[in-house]
Amino acid sequence: MIKTQNIEIVDVTARDGLQNESVIFTTEDKIDLINRSIETGVKRLEVASFVHPKYVPQMADAEAVINNLPEKDNLTYIGLAMNERGVDRALNTKIDEIGLVVVATDTFAKKNQNQTRDSSIKMASSMVKKIKSEGRKVNVTIAASFGCPFEGEVEIGTVVEMAQQIAFSNPDEISIADTIGVGDPWKVKELFSQLKSELPTMPLRAHFHNTRNTGLANVYTAIECGVNSIDVSIGGIGGCPFAPSATGNVPSEDVVYMLGRNGIDTGLSLNKLISTSQWLSKKMGKTLPGMVSRAGSFPENLSRAI
């Protein structure tokens, strides 16, 4: 039985959700999507990535998106940066929080951001200090924490050691990402249990992809381990352009439905998530992976996860 009663839902639809999709969203489309996400009740959103448009065309308008974000005191907007140049671009905007990425294997690190595992850690540690000196929040994601598409299995000890190294720079949060969706509940439990033991005061976030249909089980297990912050994407869209066969994130509506059935308050409206997912499906011209948006809530009048 999960004892945690309040879970923070981080909406990554406008960044991780869109970045691997072939349908290019205009800046206006993205602002519409973000506004719809906000209307569901989400308070923290990853909205852009400061990467070269040659490699991720969907993120070419990062500054324009951020300039047009709705301004509300209770919202936190996150922008992703892979290197110092990306950090500088982010700091020149009004973004609230900057996300950095380190990668658990050398091959994927090279393909993802032209770094090695060790140089990605060095970069992130340096950038954490720079970002905090500018008065912004900063989180660090350990990508490919459960497996690499090029090197295979990733040892739990490797990820724990990386997290310990990153923690020395004192980021506001460390996120553990199953970038290619190979994680399982047993490994999730082992990894997060060790992280909680080694870094008891460090806030942890979980980022799961549902590539092999273990995403919801992994979310449940992470929360059981005391993780209070979960990344989701409306309709379950998403994926990494640099990871072969990587599919979408865990669907927002499926996660909120599952947690709501156990009485866990996410503060999000399930009915609004479903309607937003259905809107997004029409916008993209395809059926999205999320299941609850197709089946509906239960009972039918359930409008809020409580």
Give the residue numbers marked as catalytic.
240
Peptide bond preceding 251 in cis form (omega within 30 of 0)? no
**Phi, psi for residue 117 in degrees, rounded to 5:** -55, -50
Q: Is the four-CA dihedral 50, 55, 59, 62 of positive or negative sign?
A: positive
| Burial class of residue 304, CB neighbours in 10 A (0-12, 13-18, 19+) | middle
C-beta neighbour count of 270 within 10 angstroms? 26
What whole-number distance in Å separates Cα of residue 224 and Cα of residue 193?
10
With CA atoms as reference, report the closest residue to 31 among 61, 10, 57.
Answer: 61
> At a CB cut-off of 8 Å and minimum separation 6, what does 66 contact?
47, 48, 77, 79, 93, 94, 95
* Token couple for 222: 């992470």
